[in-house]
């Protein structure tokens, strides 16, 4: 695979993998609404990958039974679903026969927004009537990625630009970044912020760097640290822990000035017990909360940079620096929001 194709394929697989992970987590709480928000996205995605001209049939008839997308010229119809079971496929094919869609469409595709099962048990008569082959006509994200891998560089670029432009809108509609997709209760108890002052930090900076902060500057730092802690408090616990893991990946020998920049790929390898799908999801949450930004996106290895409240008064830089120098567990200020070690 050429560098250009590898570049786009890596990003496409990451974002589709993230979608798979989110749908899987949402399905565990019996929330199968995501596919409804993905119908137009799926239409455009499948048109690009399969070279078809699908239309959203639910625009013509609300909740069209059995199928969601149709290409009458090529006689192909698609059911978009978050459910992957044999029962779901069987019910879809029954609806297709009942509504006589099989007289209009010679091929029925089940597009699963997630992973398909390893095997399916479907009534032989239903398969005969709909010309349905489970191996061929059930497409999950893994199968779709295999198709994308065979596309030309230009087509692959088109797919990437489509995914990049539309998936964030889907997540915004569903407010996915609230943490419920990781099994976290929406009403999860938030930790109390423990913050008095940052005098111990200022004394450390004065001793090590000769920095002498005025009372006015100290007030600004107090406000900036409090603001960062408030932003962290609003994150789901699992995301706050992930953010802390990013902080632990910082190598001060590679920091230029007080700008902290991490290699996306290297950080993914270094953070243990987080698969690429969850990693991408957490990065997406932190990006939308303006705590990090992904730079050099057109390069093979994008950079993760702290931003927003993280860089006000060099907050994250100073927290990491102080913790490393004073043997303070960085989980205390970042995860537990306990700044008592920084105070006097």
- What is the C-alpha to C-alpha distance for residues 202 and 222, in angstroms, rounded to an integer? 11
CA distances from 271 to 2, 274, 276, 290 (A): 28, 6, 10, 21
Residue 336 lies in a domain: yes
Residue 106 lies in a domain: yes
Residue 268 lies in a domain: yes
Q: What HEC string does 15-57 produce?
A: HHHHHHHHHHHHHHCCCCCHHHHCHHHHHHHHHHHHCCCCEEH
Residue 132 lies in a domain: yes
pLDDT computed for residue 168 by the predictor: 64
Which two tokens mark 228?
């960062």
Q: Domain range spanning residue 213? A: 199-342
pLDDT computed for residue 105 by the predictor: 96
pLDDT computed for residue 186 by the predictor: 37
CA distances from 50 to 80, 162, 224 (A): 15, 14, 50
Task: Check pLDDT > 80 for residue 28.
Answer: no
Confidence grade of residue 95 (pLDDT, cut at 50, 70, 90): very high
Strand, coil or helix: 58: helix
293 contacts 287 by C-beta, under 8 angstroms: yes
pLDDT computed for residue 177 by the predictor: 47
The reply to whether 218 and 305 lie within a common domain is yes
Which two tokens mark 173?
């509609």
The reply to whether 148 and 88 lie within a common domain is yes
- How large is the average pLDDT for residues 10-33? 72
The reply to whether 58 and 154 lie within a common domain is yes
Which two tokens mark 231?
């932003």
Instruction: Compute the mean pLDDT over every residue in the chain, rounded to the nearest whole number.
Output: 85
pLDDT computed for residue 36 by the predictor: 61
The reply to whether 209 and 165 lie within a common domain is no
Cα angle for residues 152, 283, 247 (degrees, 5° grid): 130
- What is the C-alpha to C-alpha distance for residues 42 and 57, in angstroms, rounded to an integer? 12
Confidence grade of residue 23 (pLDDT, cut at 50, 70, 90): confident
- What is the C-alpha to C-alpha distance for residues 124 and 97, in angstroms, rounded to an integer? 13
- How large is the average pLDDT for residues 170-192? 51
pLDDT computed for residue 37 by the predictor: 64
Q: Where are the beta strands (DSSP E) in the chain?
A: 55-56, 69-71, 76-81, 107-112, 138-139, 261-263, 292-295, 303-306
Share of the chain above pLDDT 70, in %: 87
Strand, coil or helix: 68: coil
CA distances from 118 to 18, 90, 93, 197 (A): 21, 16, 19, 57
The reply to whether 258 and 138 lie within a common domain is no
Residue 304 lies in a domain: yes
- How large is the average pLDDT for residues 289-314? 87
The reply to whether 234 and 290 lie within a common domain is yes
Closest CA to 109 of 148, 143, 155: 143
pLDDT computed for residue 267 by the predictor: 93
Count of domains observed in the chain: 2
Residue 181 lies in a domain: no
Considering 174, 190, 207, which residue would you say is the last residue of a domain?
A: 174
pLDDT computed for residue 189 by the predictor: 61
Query: Full-prediction pTM beyond 0.85?
Result: no
Residue 187 lies in a domain: no
pLDDT computed for residue 274 by the predictor: 77
- Note the pLDDT tens digit of each residue in 129-176: 999 999 999 999 999 999 999 999 889 989 988 888 777 666 655 555
The reply to whether 149 and 285 lie within a common domain is no
DSSP state of 78: E
- How large is the average pLDDT for residues 81-98? 93
The reply to whether 266 and 304 lie within a common domain is yes
Confidence grade of residue 14 (pLDDT, cut at 50, 70, 90): confident
The reply to whether 13 and 127 lie within a common domain is yes
> Phi and psi at residue 79, in whole multiples of 5°?
-100, 125
The reply to whether 7 and 156 lie within a common domain is yes
pLDDT computed for residue 323 by the predictor: 96
Which two tokens mark 284?
């997406």
Task: Check pLDDT > 50 for residue 38.
Answer: yes
Task: Check pLDDT > 90 for residue 109.
Answer: yes
Strand, coil or helix: 177: helix
The reply to whether 322 and 215 lie within a common domain is yes
Considering 159, 174, 189, which residue would you say is the last residue of a domain?
A: 174
- Note the pLDDT tens digit of each residue in 48-88: 999 999 999 887 655 567 899 999 999 999 999 888 899 99
Considering 174, 208, 233, which residue would you say is the last residue of a domain?
A: 174
Per the model's pLDDT, the better-predicted residue between 225 and 164 turns out to be: 225
The reply to whether 137 and 204 lie within a common domain is no
55 contacts 43 by C-beta, under 8 angstroms: yes
pLDDT computed for residue 299 by the predictor: 67
Residue 47 lies in a domain: yes
């Amino acid at each position: 695979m050429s560098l250009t194709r590898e570049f786009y394929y890596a990003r496409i697989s990451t974002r589709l993998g993230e979608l798979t992970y989110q749908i899987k987590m949402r399905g565990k709480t019996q929330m199968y609404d995501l596919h409804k928000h993905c119908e137009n996205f799926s239409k455009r995605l499948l048109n690009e990958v399969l070279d078809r001209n699908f239309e959203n049939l639910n625009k013509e008839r609300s909740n069209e039974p059995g199928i969601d997308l149709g290409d009458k010229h090529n006689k192909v119809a698609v059911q978009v679903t978050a459910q992957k079971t044999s029962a779901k496929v069987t019910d879809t094919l029954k609806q297709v026969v009942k509504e006589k869609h099989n007289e209009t469409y010679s091929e029925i595709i089940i597009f699963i927004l997630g992973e398909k099962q390893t095997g399916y048990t479907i009534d032989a008569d239903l398969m005969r009537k709909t010309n349905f082959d489970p191996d061929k006509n059930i497409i999950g994200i893994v199968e779709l990625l295999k198709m994308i891998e065979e596309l030309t560089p230009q087509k692959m670029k088109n797919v990437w630009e489509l995914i990049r432009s539309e998936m964030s809108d889907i997540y915004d509609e569903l407010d996915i970044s609230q943490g419920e997709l990781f099994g976290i209760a929406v009403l999860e108890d938030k930790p109390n912020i423990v913050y008095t002052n940052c005098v111990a930090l200022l004394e450390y900076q004065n001793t090590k760097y000769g920095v002498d902060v005025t009372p006015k500057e100290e007030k600004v730092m107090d406000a900036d640290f409090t603001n960062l802690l408030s932003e962290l408090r609003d994150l789901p616990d699992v995301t706050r822990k992930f953010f802390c893991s990013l902080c632990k990946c910082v190598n001060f020998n590679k920091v230029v000035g007080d700008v902290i920049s991490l290699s996306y790929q290297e950080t993914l390898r270094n953070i243990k017990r987080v698969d690429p799908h969850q990693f991408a999801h957490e990065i997406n949450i932190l990006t939308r909360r303006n705590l990090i930004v992904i730079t050099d996106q057109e390069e093979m290895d994008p950079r993760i940079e702290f931003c927003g409240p993280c860089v006000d008064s060099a907050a994250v830089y100073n927290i990491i620096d102080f913790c490393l120098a004073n043997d303070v567990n960085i989980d205390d200020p970042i995860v537990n929001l306990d700044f008592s070690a920084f105070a006097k």
